[in-house]
Structure 1
Amino acid sequence: MVSLLYVCVRPELGAADAEHASFRRALGVDVVDRLDLLTERLDPARLARYRGVVVGGSPFNVTDPAKSVEQRRVEADLESIARSAAAGEIAAFFTCFSIGVVTRMLGGEVTSATPESASATVIETTAAAADDPIFGPSAPSLTVFTAHKESAAALPDGAVLLATNAACPVQAYRVGTHLYTAQFHPEPTPRDFADRMTFYRTTGYFDPEEFDIVQRQVLAASVTEGAALLRRFAETFAPATQL
């Protein structure tokens, strides 16, 4: 039985397909089902069949001044998943753009004041993360990939800060025991992330004239702890899917 679901919110099919493969490898499972919220509506009955959900990244921003009907629908469906996870009905790991959706749902502010360009970044775990089954073993710090234009302005009410750094103070937090959020991308290898950059070469995550330089830096980085977080997420909440 498949117990994990990858929720796709990327309009770029090639990038979405590669991200799905990255999550499957990082989670350490044979099969991770896929739900593409840009082409399918969230079905609560289908969601209930899974023990865990991972939400991928997106070029969408919560702070976008003008949103398509499609983006508004995606954000509403992500909020539904987040509410289920906050209630402990399902485990969910939100990444990238979707941490902003969760932050807004919790009444927090999302800001464009603390962006991070496409790069490997060191983040520090907090004292509160020491006993967390997902983040605790990665203490005191880990290197992950970042690329975002917005982030949580502050930790929202009811959340537990798990990871931070000077550039972006809210890198990861947990709500209750089943809802995890991360501003960074935990799933890609350096090769995965370098390949993903080609889809977003002119979208503002790095200077397009420095593409080759940034890509070489990404490929030279040693980044493994993000995948370790996801492996522990699968082992904790969906052990039946282990290889």
Structure 2
Amino acid sequence: MKPFVLLATRAEDVPADEEYELFLRYTGLAPKELQRVRLEADHMPAIDLDAISGIFLGGGPFNSSDAESEKSVVQRRVESEIATLLKRVVALDFPFLGACYGVGTLGSQQGAVIDRHFAEPISVVDIALSDAGERDPLCAALPPSFSAFVGHKEAIRRLPETATLLASSATCPVQMFRVGENVYATQFHPELDVVGITTRIRAYASYGYFGLDEIDMTLAAVNRAPVTHPTALLSAFVARYAL
């Protein structure tokens, strides 16, 4: 089988390594079948799309809607490299699934309106598939409504006509969308379980997702309901696109 690639942007080793382990667990891939590229550490290497089955993009602390003056040199480089890759991915309709940061990157590439209006605190939310989502072959792995982990400072306010809305929540109108037939992005985290999101809550406690005095409340929020369905997207993506 041609390997898949995981593009990662987390600089902190503990959540970065756990993210990779979660993608391995829920895709069912072995390490040799999921090549990790830590973009925050170095330039993106040349990616031969003919030599791989598909691409995952993990989440991270970068926000596409950050003011340019607030972006670090690393963030600007990462955004530029991902944007260049996405031009090829979209043009070829190449299998891609971006989690959380995927909404900002793919949304920006498509001209979506991205701002802070529909930010969601770290929590569990109820998500519903759209009519198009219920017909989508990848979303067949999901029930019509399900719970998922979220936590993001920005979100898509308006999708362009080039994108198909697949899922929404009461507090965020774009939870998942598709471009073409094979390029996907989710605002929720399909790779997370409660242990994984607990690690991230502790690792990013000072990043402004919640007040420093709200960590216990945030930990309680991600335990309010069981989250069991979103990880099925990862194994379904592999099953559909493995070559």
TM-score (norm 1): 0.92
Q: Which amino acid aligns with 1:106?
A: Q
Match of 2:85 in 1: 81
Match of 2:126 in 1: 122
Distance 2:173 2:56 in 1: 22
Residue pair 1:128, 1:161 contacting (<8 A) in 2 also: yes
Residue pair 1:190, 1:221 contacting (<8 A) in 2 also: no
SS of the counterpart of 1:123? Answer: strand
Q: Note the 1:1-80 alignment, pairs <5 A.
A: 1-31=1-31, 32-65=34-67, 66-80=70-84
Number of aligned positions between the proteins = 239
Indicate the larger mover: 97-106 or 15-24: 97-106
Q: Against the structure 1 CA distance between its residues 101 and 180, is the aligned structure 2 distance closer, same or farther, given a 3 Å change threshold?
A: same
2:151 equivalent among 140, 147, 150: 147
Q: Against the structure 1 CA distance between its residues 113 and 49, is the aligned structure 2 distance closer, same or farther, given a 3 Å change threshold?
A: same
Q: Deviations over 1:57-79 (max 9, x none)?
A: 11111111121221111111212
Q: Against the structure 1 CA distance between its residues 2 and 13, is the aligned structure 2 distance closer, same or farther, given a 3 Å change threshold?
A: farther
Is 1:164 equivalent to 2:168 in the alignment?
yes
Structure 2 alignment gaps of length 5 or more: none
Q: CA deviation at 1:46?
A: 4.2
Match of 1:234 in 2: 238
Q: CA deviation at 1:100?
A: 1.1
Q: Deviations over 1:146-169 (max 9, x none)?
A: 000001111122100000012110
Q: CA deviation at 1:18?
A: 0.8
Q: CA deviation at 1:101?
A: 1.6
Match of 2:194 in 1: 190
Distance 1:94 1:107 in 2: 16
Distance 1:231 1:137 in 2: 9
Q: CA deviation at 1:182?
A: 0.7
Q: Note the 1:220-231 alignment, pairs <5 A.
A: 221-231=225-235
Residue pair 1:48, 1:90 contacting (<8 A) in 2 also: no
Distance 1:101 1:38 in 2: 15
Is 1:104 equivalent to 2:111 in the alignment?
no
Distance 1:86 1:46 in 2: 15
Distance 1:106 1:93 in 2: 15
Distance 2:6 2:151 in 1: 20
